[in-house]
Amino acid sequence: MANAITSQPQGTQAQYSSQKISWNSDVMDCFQDMGICLCGTFIPCILACRVAQDYGECCCLPLLFGTVLAMRTGLRERYHIEGTICNDFLCLFCCGQCTLCQMARELKMRK
């Protein structure tokens, strides 16, 4: 037996980082990008459609109830941003337009 196997090949394991990061801007940092701020203030439905498109979904998605919350939660999960779905809901419920602007700024920074 000249070709005896003396060691077994070792597999590699993929390591996923569970470290969470913060949003690039806060909810109330609306004036960081005046274009997004003005759009969110005066025509938030258009901004929501733009956020959906930038997120990779159909622009009509925000017309369905609860989908902006789902997009925010998905955005956090996609980019490993810290937070909870409860926090997402409270942000959207208390200051939906500012939260939508935050989502738009985040997607714009990550393009």
Residue spans per domain, the chain: 30-110
Q: Quick one: pLDDT at residue 19? A: 84
pLDDT at 88 over 90: yes
What 93-96 contacts at long range (C-beta under 8 Å, 24+ apart), as own/partner pairs, is 95/27, 95/28, 96/44, 96/68
Angle at the Cα of 92 from the Cα atoms of 86 and 93, rounded to 5 degrees: 85
pLDDT in tens, 30-61: 899 999 999 999 999 999 999 999 999 999 99
pLDDT at 10 over 80: no
Q: Quick one: pLDDT at residue 20? A: 87
CB neighbours of residue 46 within 10 Å? 13
This model's pTM is above 0.85: no
